[in-house]
Amino acid sequence: MCHYRGSIPYGGAEDSKWILSNGIKILNIVKPGRTFNPTRTKERVALIKQYWGRIPEAPKGLREIRNKLEHYDEYIEEWFSSTEGDFAYKLETIGMIYRYDPSNGGVVYYLENYVVIKDVIDWVKQMGQLVINSDYTLS
């Protein structure tokens, strides 16, 4: 049986990155954003719902952070073209767009969005239970 590392205390900012990354990957499978083949994506999501049942709602902020990460280049272009001031200052500010706060379950702030890492861990565990409890078997 597979054990999710979230069942033990995680090590702060570094672990929050892989937890967030894995949460986003799962979100992309069950509730994808824009895709290259929307028809196949709808079929995949329908099959997942058929075998897993109701998909729990993703933690607040996870979808927004996923969208910002996936469209980061567009966001930065818009930001640079819409703000005024010193260009060097803007470059320094880019390095401050990701921040981790260890209080309240570990909060990751990304641009204007945030997600609580404990909520991501709990959601991933729920998703894992859906898979474990499903009666789907590979043929």
pLDDT of residue 52: 84
pLDDT of residue 94: 56
| Closest of 16, 46, 20 to residue 31, by C-alpha | 46
**CA–CA gap between residue 22 and residue 73 (Å, rounded):** 21
pLDDT of residue 2: 36
Output the pTM of the full model: 0.73
pLDDT of residue 136: 60
How high is the mean pLDDT in each 10-residue block of the chain (139 residues)? Answer: 43 80 91 84 88 88 90 75 59 64 86 90 91 67
pLDDT of residue 7: 47
Domain ranges of the chain: 5-133
Beta strands across the sheet bearing 107-110 = 98-101, 107-110, 113-116
